[in-house]
């Protein structure tokens, strides 16, 4: 029941936005807050709905435009959790890795990165600078294995 740590990250993303020459507006603030404040991975519609709780007249188009902007700057990441729907999250802590159950659809977040070590070495071999990465593991979760 606090918004202390969120405030901090809001500032972080917001500042990065401005650092790139973009304006920090009310709608953008709201959208960033929604993203930071959620433990879930939200899609366009969910993000819009939540942001409209603060700014009722906020338009769909703004959500699309802002999400594209933030994604392009690498300030947020898109993820794909098996339902073909694009979702977004703040890459805070660096864990945008998921275990996705093909059976029940449950998504478990991983706080440990499976690649970290091999990544840099690998990228250098390929002369490729990795700015971000996406790892999704699809399979059968603990509970569904028992159930079957």
Partner DNA sequence: CTTGCTGCAAAATTTTTGCACGAAT
Partner DNA sequence: ATTCGTGCAAAAATTTTGCAGCAAG
Across the strands, what pairs with 110? 97
Taking alpha carbons only, the member of 9, 61, 69 closest to residue 38 is 9
Kind and range of the H or E element at 99?
strand 97-101
Rounded Cα gap, residues 45 and 60, in angstroms: 8
Contact set for DNA, span 39-98 (CB under 7 A): 44-45, 55, 57-62, 64-66, 68, 84, 86
Rounded Cα gap, residues 27 and 23, in angstroms: 11
Q: What is the smallest separation between the CB atom of 26 and a second copy, expressed in angstroms? A: 25
Residue of the chain from 108, 120, 124, 147 that contacts a second copy (CB under 8 A):
108
Asked whether position 15 contacts DNA by CB under 7 A, the answer is no
Asked whether position 131 contacts a second copy by CB under 8 A, the answer is yes
Vertex 91 angle, CA 74 and 17, to 5° = 40
Residue of the chain from 12, 46, 69, 80 that contacts a second copy (CB under 8 A):
80
Footprint of a second copy on this chain (CB under 8 A)?
74, 78, 80, 84, 86, 99, 101-102, 108, 114-115, 118-119, 122-123, 126-142, 145
């Amino acid at each position: 029941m606090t918004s202390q740590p969120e405030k901090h990250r809001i500032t972080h993303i917001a500042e990065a936005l401005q650092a790139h020459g973009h304006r920090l507006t009310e709608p953008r603030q709201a959208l960033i807050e929604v993203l930071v404040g959620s433990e879930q991975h939200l899609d366009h519609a969910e993000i819009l709905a939540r942001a409209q709780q603060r700014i009722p007249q906020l338009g769909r188009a703004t959500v699309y435009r802002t999400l594209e902007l933030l994604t392009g700057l690498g300030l947020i990441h898109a993820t794909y959790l098996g339902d073909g729907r694009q979702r977004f999250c703040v890459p805070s802590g660096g864990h945008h890795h998921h275990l996705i159950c093909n059976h029940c659809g449950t998504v478990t977040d991983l706080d440990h990165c499976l690649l970290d070590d091999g990544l840099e070495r690998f990228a250098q071999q390929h002369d490729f600078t990795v700015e971000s990465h996406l790892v999704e593991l699809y399979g059968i979760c603990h509970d569904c294995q028992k159930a079957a």
